[in-house]
Structure formats: structure tokens, C-alpha cells
A and B are shown apart, each in its own frame.
Chain A
């Protein structure tokens, strides 16, 4: 590790919070530490976020808060069946109801051409996008949209949707990957044939894709191993669980332009997908991203926007649709349930000799389960010569799966990290030491091809070893400690940013990245750093698709990295312009003017950024600059957890006693919001580990589509979540930023499972580790005399 500067978090209570679990021992360390390696003036500080006042007073405008004059309200009729043929749709009764203005079905969509469409984080067939927006011919999951209504108010719209008569012929359904892969399983898409190793086949199947990556010779590796461990793991379908339901208002104006206001992680994705679905030019659509109430990947897909647009076109009025919570749970989101087998061999010296995995992920109703990143990440933390990974993308009768924070990686780590734990136990090695001996490092080749550049796997593992938590006594029966490590590769994609310098010296920053968790500020801080002004002198704003250059989704942990890079470059252009303005004032060449921290100087003259801004009119007019970025230097992020649990053997309840999240973030631009990402990702991982699951009935319907029964963690379920920010600068970014949003959700389920194993000796191979599941496992183990 490089210099360890402990930089305690601000705010009262740090270091003094009593343990709520009764031990009452004061903490002997800072709960939030930053192992900083590079220091800047603005980057790395903790200013109040620019949009904060609006969000603590209720003024911030989220999509559902917008009601335009003359708005109609929409409701969507959804399939009650998991899998059914649509025999007929009769809308006349609904249309005849007072207050009802229009109904749309799949027949109102133009026919889908056979082409691919970019849906934010990759391509998919346009026909699948169409099919998910409004079902045609068949419904593929309970909640699948069949028709929609626009009416005078939302209550009338709901009643009218219920009055649409649909005749269904129910079909057999498959709810898990193994069921859908079984011989004789009912096919979801009769024309879907498996792509085998990248080549189309002619066998209709629910397996959309099967591929394999390999390195070296795994058979030889297993021959070299003295310990070989293999196990199969299953994880339940879970939802991103954002608190704000999806919403949209669309106005198809009489000039032919379509204006959409919505809650989305990617305004340009909404624009582009809606344009393809409705077959209109992209420039005819303007998307205004409203404030977004959480996304986590689940607000990248387009669900409501084309439907509201069609209703608006039919009625000539704005149409607003807000999903119910049941709609959100049954028709959007979830991440893939998974079925993963991992086999790992090690020699007696603790060197991993072979790693083999088979991952089958549930894509939901349409192909695209994020099994690809699952395969990329399954062994990403290890340097091993012999690796083989097989991936299966399997369609099942659940909602079409969406990205969820490091999509695909937590399921994979849940398997790998438990098998690694078993090997450490068998070899009698400290589990962190085993990981360190086999850590991925610069030059290690990942199974999917790339060689790592500079990464922080070692530094993260050493920070775990050095952390006071790792050596603290557990202090009680049925308590255990687990560790796990996870990886997310992060993405770059494309961003745009414009800066306008005001006469008062403040700078308006215009960008297109939806701000889900404080990125306005982390982007503004990077511009401020370059300009040598305070974070508060930059006034950032997220604007509509007409008002800023193309910007990809807020996803892949890319926003602070890539949009921040665009802001950095735009600020560099402003600095260049300011040098030439100062040169003009002094009659010198721009190259002779030096810039340092917002002060421009030459030959004993100096002038501040603020004064140059005030003089803009006299030195050549307004000062603005735009930059776009498509950065290539993406730096992946490693994350690790130390977790202590207590298992109640009478009830099976697992309590989290203490949790420490460690992550290499490259450079924490705003450490408070970086900690927030680490804490939030950790707690989503805790929910995934212990409580959350879709209970599907024998009829294929979700049994727990409320937030009472889909049980996300509450404040009462948790201790404080301690963080340790590790900074191994990314050489591919001006400030060393890697991206922080996702890697933190990867290790928690595995770390908790390892802690449960440590506490009560049972190996939990299925998520969630809910009280009944843990109780059954503990009871079985004690019955068999373990």
C-alpha cells in the first residue's frame, strides 16, 4: 500500500456510534477511511451537493410530479398468465366508458423490422423490444403489457383497462433455467434457436446462447491439484427495488414532434429506442429526463414511453402513465436468477491450478441475461493458468431481466467465493492469504481475453487484512466471520459536456448524464479542479436531449469517469481560452500566459478567473466550450467485504453484526458519495443474500408483489456499514477515477454465506439465506450429527 492518509468522514457520530448489538464497545478506528494516494484541491473534498436543497425540501421534480395542462392519464392492462396465447382482444367496452379517450394494443405499433437496436448497454433484436412493450400473439410472463388506455383520470383509466376483454389460452411455463432447458419444455419463442459458440444453429430452444471461454488446460490443472472442490449454487430472482416507480408523460405535438418526460438512466436511449420502435426520426423526439428516484440498471429499458406516445398521438393531448408498485415488480427489472456450478483445484502450496464454471442465467422472457458479464467476472479476481467458463443464456417465463448493479457478477461471485473458502479451509490457509497468493494483477489474463492493466486487487485484499475488523474478536456462540472479493469491469461509452462562463465568474455546466446519486457534483468538481475554482462556482445541470450532445446511459459505473472526463476536457478548453483573453489584455502571446489554480499570469501581471470572466465582453465575447468523450482507459474495480454474522439456530435468522466494505475506486472525487455507493451496494447485497426473492406460485404468478412481502432491508435490519476507500489511480483517467457504483454489490452474498459457514458449519448454496432456509440447513446438519 502507498501512503495511508486516514481522512475521517465528516459529521457527528463518527467513531462513537454504539454497537446496536449490545457489545457496547467503542470503536478503535474511523468507520470511514480513505487510503488516499493523490491529492487535489477540489477533487477529494466533500462539498454539499448542488441539487441538495431541492431534494430535502420536496422541490426537486421527479417524473410523477409533472402534470402538464390538459393531461390524460394512462393505465396498462397486463397479462395474468405466465405464458399464454392471446386469442382475442376486445376493447369496445373500455372505449365506451365515460372519460376514456383511447386504447392501444400491439396492433398500433409499426411492424418490427428484423434488425438490432442499441438498448443502452448492448444490442438486442428490435422484435424483442417491441414484444416487451406490448405483447403480440403471446404473453410471456405475468405482468406482460397487453393494452393501454388513456382517460380523464388514473382511476377511470384503471377501470377501463380492466374492462378490456382478452381471451387467453394458457400454456405451460418454465420459471427457472434448469426447467426451461429440460427436454420437452414449452418454447417461449418458437423461432429462437441456440447460438452455439457464436454460430447460429437450427435447433429451437429456450437456450438463446451457449458459449465458452477457456485458458490453458483445465484437465491438466485438476491433475496438478491436491484439493479439488466443486459445488452448484442457485440464486433467486431479485428486483433492483428503486423507490420511485417508472413514469412517463408524452406529448405528440401537432407539429409532429414528440416530447417525452420520464424517469430514465438514459434520456438518449429512450429517444433512440422510441424512435426505432415508432419508426420516426430521432431528431423528432425530445426527451427530458426528470429527477430519477433510483435505477440501479432497472431504468435503462424502455417500457412506457412508446405506449404513452401512441396514446398521445391518438388523443392529441399529453398522456401520463405511472406504474403501480405491482407493475414495477411484475413487469420490470428483475435480475437473473441463476444456476452456477464452480469447480476449483489447488495444489498443497495454496496455488490455484484450475478453475471451471458453468453459468446458466435466466434471461426472463427475452434473450439477454447478463450471463456474459457473469462469465467475465466469475474468476476475475484470480490469476490462474487453466480456466474454463461455459455460459448459457436461458429464456424463462419471468419479466425480461434488466441490468442490476454489476449485472451478472454477484451470482457468479456467490459460487466462486464459497468454493475458494472451502479450499482455504481444506488447506488450513487464511482465506485472505489464499486470495492474495492467487490474486489477479497487472498482466494477468482474464478468461474472456483482456490482460489487466493497473488494478487494485492486491491493495484491496491487503486493506482487508490490515483492517481492525479482520482481527477483532467475534465474542459469542453462533457467530462467524466471512470474507469475499468481487470485481466489476466498468465501462466508458460516450458523454458530452458544455461549460458557459458567466460574467460573475461562475460557470454553468450542461451535461446529459442522469444524476442518480450525486454525479452532478462529482462532474462539476472535476471541472472546478481544472479551472481552479470552488465546486460551488460550477452550476451543473442535466438537460434534455435537444440541449446537449449525445450521452450514453448512467450505468456501468461510467458517469463520474466518462462525463467527468468530458467536463475535464471542456474545462481545459476554457483554460486555453482564458489564457488567450489574458494575453489580449496584456498584448502578449497566449503561450506566454501561465495558469495556476485559477490565476493567470505573465511578466508580473496576474488576473483571476473571475476577473477574466467579468472582462469577457471586452476581450472577445462570450466564453463557452464543449467537449465530448469516448474514453478508452476504463479501469475495473475490485471490492471486498468483511462481515460478522450471528445465526439464531432456533429460527434460522441471520443478523449482520458488523460489515466492512473495501473498494478500489481509483480516486474518490467526492468521498462521501463514494462511501454512499459502497454502503448502498453492500446493503442491496445483504438484501439479496438474506431476504429478497420472487415467490412464484405453481401458476407462474408472483406471490409477493408488494414491498411488505418483497422484503428489502430496513434501517432496523442493519448495523452501520463501515467503508475503506482504496485508491489505486486509474492511469486511464486524468484524476485516476475508476468508477464506483457497482463492484460493491458483488461480494456481500458470498461473504455472508462464508460467515454463516463459519458460524454454524453449514454451507448455504442457495439464495436467499432466509430464516426457513438456514433453519432447515442447520437442523439437517445437527440431525446428521455434524
Chain B
């Protein structure tokens, strides 16, 4: 099987890789580029652990082919903290104890940040709907939802000052 040459942008940096036509973006990230922060929980789009942002939309990386990343802008959990500082969502997850085992956390962080980029003041119902494709088996979601609310409030406060 001949490999495909893919040129893409990951977390703001130009990246290129060779992948097989059958390899997913998740495999490309994890196995080829060694960006293992994006997790695999089901490999069929139902758990959200591999959520990444692709051209401004969140997608499960397991349902995107590596070859489809050609020319795209990809944001993974590794690109959320910038310049040595954690993002408001990451800080809120730490302060709000919104993680237990932590394996779903990268997907939640990417998804929650994307929500707050679109909607600075989401309601609880909007947060729950947005995160409904991200499964967490440890927390019961309570502290995740509260932490997203807290992150939104912190971002609004920072924007106001």
C-alpha cells in the first residue's frame, strides 16, 4: 500500500507526514506524529476522547482520514495552552476537580474551548448539549459542566479588563 504525503497545520505549526490511505487522523496524530494527548476510546466516533478542532469545527479524529488533513488547520489538546500558560478551560478543570482518571479530559478541553470561542456565556443546557458527544464515566459531568461555566465567567472577566 503506497503512502500519501500530507501537508497540514497542527497547533499553528506546519506539519507533514506520510500515511496509509486507511489510516485515520487519530492514527496520524498518535502513531506517526506522536501527539498522544488525543485519546482513543472507541474508534467509531461515539466517545469523543479524540475530539480535535479541524478548520474551526470540532470532529472526532477517528472519523477523519489522515489524508483529509491535507491543507487543514488542526488544533489538538497539545495546542490549547499557549506561551507557557494554561487556557481558562484548563485552569477551571483543575480548580473545579473536573477530572478523575483524565483520559476523556483532552477531548472535553478541546470541545469546551471551542464552545466558549463561539458562545461567551452558554447556559447549562447549551453546555450539556455541546458536550453530549464526549463521554466521561468518572465524574457524572457535574464538575465538568460547572468548570465550563467557571471558565466562561473567567474569560468574560478577562475580556472586560
Interface residues of A (CB under 8 A from B): 10-14, 17-18, 20, 46, 48-49, 51-53, 55-62, 64-65, 67, 155, 240-245, 291-296, 322, 324-325, 516-518, 670, 672-673, 675-677, 679-684, 706-708, 712-716, 718, 720-721
Contact = CB atoms under 8 A, between A and B. Distances in A.
Interface string B135-146: 111111111111
B102 A60 contact: yes
Nearest to A51: B102
B47 interface: yes
A194 B76 CA distance: 55
Given A325-B42, A716-B129, A716-B132, A683 B140 contact: yes
Contacts of A325: 41-44, 47
B101 A679 contact: no
B102 A55 contact: yes
B22 A706 contact: no
A242 B101 CA distance: 9
A182 B98 CA distance: 48
* B contact patch SS: loop
Contacts of B95: 10-11, 48
A20 B123 CA distance: 9
Contact of B139 (A67, A242, A676, A716): A676
Given A64-B40, A708-B44, A718-B141, 13 more contacts: A46-B97, A56-B94, A58-B37, A240-B137, A242-B103, A243-B136, A244-B101, A673-B97, A676-B100, A707-B41, A708-B46, A715-B141, A716-B129
Contacts of B140: 676, 679-684, 713, 718, 721
* Interface core residue of A58, A240, A713 (most chain B CB under 10 Å): A58
A53 B93 CA distance: 10
A714 B47 contact: no
Contacts of A52: 93-94, 99
A56 B90 contact: yes
Which 4 pairs across A and B sit closest by C-beta, in order of nearness? A58-B37, A293-B103, A683-B140, A55-B102
Given A56-B90, A58-B77, A243-B136, A516 B101 contact: yes
A293 B101 contact: yes
A57 B78 contact: yes
A56 B132 contact: no
Given A48-B94, A716-B129, A12 B37 contact: no
A607 to B, nearest CB: 34
B72 to A, nearest CB: 19
Contacts of B143: 11, 672, 675-676, 679
A517 B34 CA distance: 26
B128 to A, nearest CB: 4
B38 to A, nearest CB: 7
Contacts of A48: 94-95
Nearest to B145: A715
A20 B125 CA distance: 6
Contact of B147 (A11, A679, A715): A11
A680 B100 contact: yes
A560 B77 CA distance: 30
B80 interface: yes
B34 to A, nearest CB: 8
Contacts of A10: 95-96
Contacts of B41: 243-245, 293, 325, 707
Contacts of B97: 46, 49, 518, 670, 672-673, 675-676
Nearest to B104: A243
Contact of B80 (A13, A57, A517, A712): A57
Contacts of A17: 124, 145-146, 149
B39 A716 contact: no
